[in-house]
Chain A
C-alpha cells in the first residue's frame, strides 16, 4: 500500500483514538490493537473510502460491529467451555479439534442469528443430535406439527440468510 492510499491516511489519523476507545471497552491493550486492525481490514473491504465525510462516525460504526462479533464469539466460547466443564475431563476435544469445533459453532451461530429460540432449539436437536421430530416434540412439550413448522422455519431462515450473504453490499 502506498503512502497516498486513502486508507493509509485514515489509518495514521485515526488509529490512536480508535485504539484508545477499544481499549476502554475491552480493558486490554493487546486485544484492542487486534480489533483496531480488524476494523481497518473492514475499511479496506469497503468502497469509496476517499470520499468519507464523517470518518470518525464511519470507523466507530465498523468498530462497533467488530466489537459485537468479538463479544459474541467470546460468549459462545464461554458457554461451550461451561458445557464441556460438565463432562468428564477426557471428553475435552483434542487441540486439533478445538479450533475446528469453535469455527463450526461460530458458523452455525451466524446462520441461526435472528431465529426465535424454540426454532433454534428444535433445529439443533434435529441436526446436531439426530433426534426425530417425535422425540423433540416429547422433549420440549409441543406438537409434532409445531416441530415440523419450526424445522422448516429454521432451514428457510438459514437459506435466505445465505442468499443475503452472497449478495454484494456497500459496507462489508
Chain B
C-alpha cells in the first residue's frame, strides 16, 4: 500500500547537508500495522512527516528517496496535490489531542469541516456523516458530543475525535505519531484496541510511531527499529521479540523495567545516542555496543538477513545472519 525506498532527509546547506534520516526503506501492506520504534531524536517523526508531505518549510528536505502510495509516486507532492491527483489519502494523528483541535469550535463542526473538504457535502448531511464517524470511533451519545467543546472532553475522548477527523478522508494509510503517549494506561489500551479494530474493519494500513516497546508488542504486526536516523532492524513482531537481531533492539528490550521485576539492577545501554552530524564512519551504534569489533568502527554495517523478512543492519547480528 505504502512504500518508502532509500529515503534520506537532510538539514543544513545544500553544499554540506547533514542527514537526519538516512536511507530508510519500509513498506506497509493493506490491513497491516507497522510499528516504528525508537528513542527521541532518532528520526522517526521526521520520517513520518516526510511520508506525509508535511516537512516544515524552510527546514529539513528530502534529499533522496521515493515514496509511493497505492502505486503512485508522491515523493515531491504536497498533501493537497496528492488529493487533486487522486492518489489516495494518508491521514495523520499526533500525540497531544488538545493542540490538534481548535479550542473555540464545537467538535461536531470540526469533524463536519473535514467531511465538507473531502466529501463536498455540507449542513445536515455533513453532520450526519460526522455522527457516523463518532460511532465508528466508539464515542457514546454521539449527538450530544457533537456540540461539546474540546476542553469539555477527556483526553481519551479527544484522541477519538482526532481519529474521527482523520477518518473523514477515508484514508488508506493512517500515520499515528505517539497517539497514546499522553494518555493514562487504562485509556491507552482502549485507543490501541480501537486502532486495531479500525485497521481491520476499514482495511487501512497504519504506521504507528512510538518509543514504547510494550505498545509495539501489543499492537504491531511488523516492526521497524530506528537508531540515529537509520532503520537498524525490521521483522515480524513475534520474530523481533523472540529473537532480535540487532544489539540495540536487544538492549532496548532488556532495559524495560517490566521485563526485569525483582532484578536488583536493570541492564542498561551505556552512553547516549549520537547527535546528527557527529556520527563517525562505521556503525552509529558501535560506541554503545557490547559486541563491537574493530570493523564496526570503520566500515558501515551490512544489512543481513536473520530469517524470512527479518533484517538487521549489523555485521555481527544476534541469532545469526546471512547476506540479504
Partners in one complex: no
B residues lining the A interface (CB < 8 Å): none
